[in-house]
Structure formats: C-alpha cells, structure tokens
C-alpha cells in the first residue's frame, strides 16, 4: 500500500510522526481524507478528530482545535494550535476549552477577534455534542 510521511505537531510537542496510509482531517470546510499522492493543498482546521491509518491497519485518533494542514507531494503536516491524544480527552476537558473560549470572547474588543472566537466556540460546542454521542454509541 502506498504510504506517505505524516506529522502532527502542537506547540508543546510532536504528537505523531511516521508513515501512514491515510489521514482524515477536520478542515473548516468539511472533513478531508488524504491518501498518498494527494494534490498539494493548505487548509485551516476546526475543532475535531484527526484519524490516522497507519501501515499495520491500526487507526489512531487525535483531538485538534484550530491550526493548519499542509499537504505536498511527499508529506503532510498538521500544525495544530491545540492537540491531544483522544484518550486524554473527556467532557471535562472540552468544557474547560469552551469556558476558556467564552472568557476570551467576553474579554476581547476587536470585531475580528470576536468573530474568530465565536466561530471557535460554535465548533467546540458542535464537537462536544458529537463526542458525547460517540461515547454513548
């Protein structure tokens, strides 16, 4: 199976680095699946789950919140503003994130910031909903 190099980095650490078969990315305009040989593109991310399929048919999941993905001929890189292993995410973590976004929204002054934070907040709430449903299933 054709593979490509994939890296997921957050400001604090490298969460994943290695050869993968496919990656599903939550871009702002919808989920994108990247396979080897994908056309180069750049997209911004929303809050959601990155699903990584490694060569041994194992799946790995990560939670990301905001950031950017770059796909070129040889490699794919996600620069996440926030990233965690899915095992480290629970409702409490998401609630904390939502609270942070809310306080920042209340404290922001420029319209641009407000718009951006509002979007983040909507994404986070949406993701929390999805996350809870997933857990229930």
Partner 1 sequence: MPSLKDLRNRIASVKATQKITKAMQMVAAAKLRRAQSAAEAARPYAERMETVLANLASGVSGSSAPRLIAGTGSDKVHLLLVLTAERGLCGAFNSSIARLARDKANALKAEGKTVKIICVGKKGYDILRRQFASEIIEFIDLREFKQVGFVNAETVAQNVLTRFGNGEFDVATLFFSKFRSVIAQIPTAQRIIPAEIPEGTKQSDAVYDYEPDEGEILEALLPRNLTVQILRGLLENAASEQGARMSAMDSATRNAGEMIKKQTQLYNRSRQAMITKELIEIISGAEAL
DSSP H helical ranges for 33-110: 91-107
Q: How far is the CB of 1 from partner 1 (least distance, A)?
A: 22
Measuring CA to CA, which residue among 90, 68, 56 is closest to residue 9?
68
Q: How far is the CB of 116 from partner 1 (least distance, A)?
A: 8
Q: Which is nearer to partner 1, 15 or 94 (CB)?
A: 15
Which residues lie closer than 8 Å to 105 by C-beta, 6 or more apart?
A: 114, 117, 118, 121
Q: How far is the CB of 136 from partner 1 (least distance, A)?
A: 32
Residues 4-63 that bind partner 1 (CB under 8 A): 7, 9-14, 27-29, 32, 39-44
Specify whether the CB–CB gap between 95 and 124 falls below 8 A: no
Q: Applying CB under 8 A, which part among 52-60, 64-72, 89-97, 100-108 lies near partner 1?
A: 64-72
User: What's the token pair of residue 111?
Assistant: 């319209």
Among positions 31, 55, 61, 72, the unique one binding partner 1 when judged by CB under 8 A: 72
Q: Which is nearer to partner 1, 17 or 55 (CB)?
A: 17
Burial of 55 (0-12, 13-18, 19+ CB in 10 A): exposed
- Spell out, one character per residue from 97 to 126, where the chain touches partner 1: x when CB under 8 A holds, - when not: ------------------------------
């Amino acid at each position: 199976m054709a593979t490509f190099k994939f890296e997921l980095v957050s400001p604090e650490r490298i969460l994943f680095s290695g050869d993968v078969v496919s990656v599903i990315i939550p871009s702002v305009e919808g989920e994108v699946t990247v396979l080897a040989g994908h056309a180069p593109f750049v997209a911004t991310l929303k809050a959601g789950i990155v699903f990584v399929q490694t060569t041994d048919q194992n799946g790995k999941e990560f939670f990301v919140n905001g950031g950017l993905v770059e796909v070129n001929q040889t490699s794919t890189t996600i620069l996440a503003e926030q990233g965690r292993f899915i095992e480290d995410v629970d409702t409490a973590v998401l609630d904390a994130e939502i609270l942070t976004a809310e306080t920042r929204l209340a404290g922001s002054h420029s319209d641009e910031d407000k718009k951006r934070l509002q979007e983040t907040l909507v994404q986070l709430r949406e993701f929390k909903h999805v996350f809870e449903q997933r857990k229930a299933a």
